[in-house]
């Protein structure tokens, strides 16, 4: 791979939404780009999570969310035949609970941490008036955010955009950064060297091991989610999430939510936290937050049983599939975007947790600008160097 006279030769490792968006931005900026993916486009969380673009409730991530929404709008404009367009308006998010104190606690938390949100607390009668599919006695917090999408659709749209800009996409290729001393020389493909000036690692939960084969630097780990895709006859119009999910994602009153779920925070038995996201006629019902890779069918009935306490029709809905994915969760729940400090020419963009579809394209633009010699305003909170070195 030889760079053009105006730009570097860049190898991108990872065929999820972050890698493909980065490849597109790099090519748009004049780089010669080859993307390597060991399986298929959107084979991981980008294609197998629930599929919702929503405000991430972390003030540090909010600018990435707003830029990503704008990027999706632009993507649909420049590639109208790319097969993806973000919904014109938000479906709205209902954060639901059986107990009112959970909703009140979460409302106070969100109003304090993300004041831009327009939050409405709903009693059970108001919830039923808004969403008749929801069970009696459910309390909720409504936020006018959340754009449901078919999970893999944005990633395929970025792939289409990248290819049109000249990116070479090589599927079924397991690539690793190739180093000489403390400098990247390209990638290694099962012993075959392919040269590049720069390598961008966007390989989700497996990114850290590509940056540090020694195993001493591991700020990103897989957090496994199981999703049951159902066909509800009359699905909710809103995205629905259990208030407990926001504790799993790093937001909310842990004590109140664990009381709601009928367990203590010390309980080692994992429980699913309900979410329902409807797009293109299918409702993704989730989810789990597991440290170890699960057997998806073993979780199907547990997930549906929990969800049915909020939306009863879920219990008897036809099941299209049950799937699992590993979300790349960083040690502080914020992405790693920028240079790897101990290797010249090695860059990282990963660790987005469940927010890859929400914040990934914006952080991909940031790392692309950095590679291209521009001066992106990457927050110190995203610097890979914050976790030290091997």
Same structural domain for residues 56 and 127?
A: no
Q: CATH number of the domain that 71 lies in?
A: 3.50.50.60
CATH code: domain of residue 235: 3.30.9.10
On whether the CB atoms of residues 213 and 284 are closer than 8 A, the answer is: no
Distances (CA, A) of 110 to 56, 100, 154, 241, 330: 11, 16, 28, 15, 22
Whole-model pTM over 0.85: yes
- What tens digit of pLDDT does each residue of 114-169 get? 999 999 999 999 999 999 999 999 999 999 999 999 999 999 999 999 999 999 99
| Residue from 89, 79, 56, 235 nearest 154 by CA | 79
Q: Count of CB atoms within 10 A of residue 55's CB?
A: 22
SS3 (DSSP) at 173: coil
Residue-number span of the structural domain to which 368 is assigned: 9-83+151-219+332-387
Q: Are 125 and 236 found together in one domain?
A: yes
SS3 217: coil
Helix (DSSP H) and strand (DSSP E) numbers for the chain: 11, 19
Shared-domain flag, residues 21 and 169:
yes
Give the span between the Cα atoms of 335 and 173, in whole angstroms. Answer: 25
Say whether both 229 and 188 belong to one domain: no
Do 272 and 292 belong to one domain? Answer: yes
Residue 1 lies in a domain: no
Contact 311, 238 (CB under 8 A): no
Q: How many domains does the chain have?
A: 2
The verdict on 52 and 192 lying in the same domain is yes
Instruction: Read off the pLDDT of each residue in 267-281 and give the average, rounded to a whole number.
Output: 83
Residue-averaged pLDDT of the chain: 92
Same domain (yes/no): 336, 325: no
How far is 287 from 244, CA to CA, in rounded Å?
Answer: 11
Residue 268 pLDDT exceeds 60: no
How far, in Å, CA of 310 to CA of 240, rounded?
9
* 206-242 tens-digit pLDDT: 999 999 999 999 999 999 999 999 999 999 999 999 9
61 and 33 in a common domain: yes
**Residue 299, class by beta-carbon neighbours within 10 Å (0-12 exposed, 13-18 middle, 19+ buried)?**
buried
Residue 196: phi and psi, rounded to 5, are -160, 150
Task: Give the pLDDT band (50/70/90) at residue 90.
Answer: very high
More confident residue, 295 or 260: 295
> How much is the pLDDT for 3?
57
The answer to whether residues 382 and 340 belong to one domain is yes
pLDDT band at residue 79, thresholds of 50, 70 and 90?
Answer: confident
Is the same domain home to 315 and 248? yes
Q: pLDDT band at 262, cuts 50/70/90?
A: very low
Whether residues 367 and 381 fall in one domain: yes
Same domain, 215 and 266: no
Length of the chain: 390
Domain membership of residue 4 (yes or no) is no
Sheet with 183-189, edge to edge strand ranges: 175-180, 183-189, 192-195
Residue that terminates a domain, selected from 330, 359, 374? 330
Q: In this predicted model, what pLDDT tens digit does every residue of 330-377 receive, in sequence order?
A: 999 999 999 999 999 999 999 999 999 999 999 999 999 999 999 899
Alpha helices in 165-269 (DSSP H): 207-211, 243-248, 254-260
């Amino acid at each position: 791979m030889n760079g053009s006279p105006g730009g570097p030769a860049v190898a991108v490792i990872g065929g999820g939404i972050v890698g493909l968006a980065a490849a597109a931005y790099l090519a748009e900026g004049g780089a010669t780009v080859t993307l390597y993916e060991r399986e298929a486009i959107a084979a991981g969380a980008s294609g197998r999570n629930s599929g919702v673009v929503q405000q991430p409730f972390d003030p540090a991530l909010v600018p990435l969310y707003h830029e990503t929404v704008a990027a999706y709008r632009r993507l649909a404009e420049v590639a109208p035949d790319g097969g993806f367009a973000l919904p014109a308006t938000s479906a709205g998010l209902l954060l639901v609970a059986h107990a009112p104190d959970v909703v009140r606690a979460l409302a106070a938390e969100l109003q304090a941490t993300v004041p831009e949100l327009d939050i409405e607390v709903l009693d059970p009668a108001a919830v039923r008036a808004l969403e008749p599919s929801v069970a009696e006695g459910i309390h909720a917090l409504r936020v006018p955010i959340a754009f449901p999408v078919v999970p893999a659709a944005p990633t395929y749209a970025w792939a289409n955009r990248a290819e049109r800009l000249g990116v070479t996409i090589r599927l079924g290729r397991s690539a690793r950064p190739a180093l000489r001393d403390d400098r990247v020389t390209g990638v290694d493909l099962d012993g075959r060297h392919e040269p590049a000036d720069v390598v961008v690692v966007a390989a989700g939960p497996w990114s850290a091991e590509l940056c540090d084969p020694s195993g001493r630097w591991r700020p990103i780990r897989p957090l496994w989610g199981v999703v049951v895709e159902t066909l509800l006859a009359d699905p909710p119009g809103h995205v629905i999430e259990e208030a407990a999910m926001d504790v799993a994602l790093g937001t909310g009153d842990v004590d109140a939510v664990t009381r709601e779920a009928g367990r203590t925070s010390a309980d080692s038995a994992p429980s699913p936290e309900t979410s329902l996201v409807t797009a293109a006629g299918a409702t993704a019902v989730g989810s789990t937050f597991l440290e170890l890779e699960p057997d998806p069918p073993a979780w199907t009935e547990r997930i549906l049983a929990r969800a049915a306490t909020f939306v009863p029709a879920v219990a008897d809905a036809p099941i299209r599939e049950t799937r699992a994915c590993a979300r790349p969760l960083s040690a502080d729940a914020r992405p790693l975007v920028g240079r790897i400090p101990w290797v010249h020419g090695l860059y990282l963009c990963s660790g987005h947790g469940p927010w890859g579809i929400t914040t990934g394209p914006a952080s991909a633009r940031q790392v692309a600008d950095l590679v291209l010699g521009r001066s992106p305003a990457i927050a110190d909170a995203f610097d890979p160097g914050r976790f030290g070195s091997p």
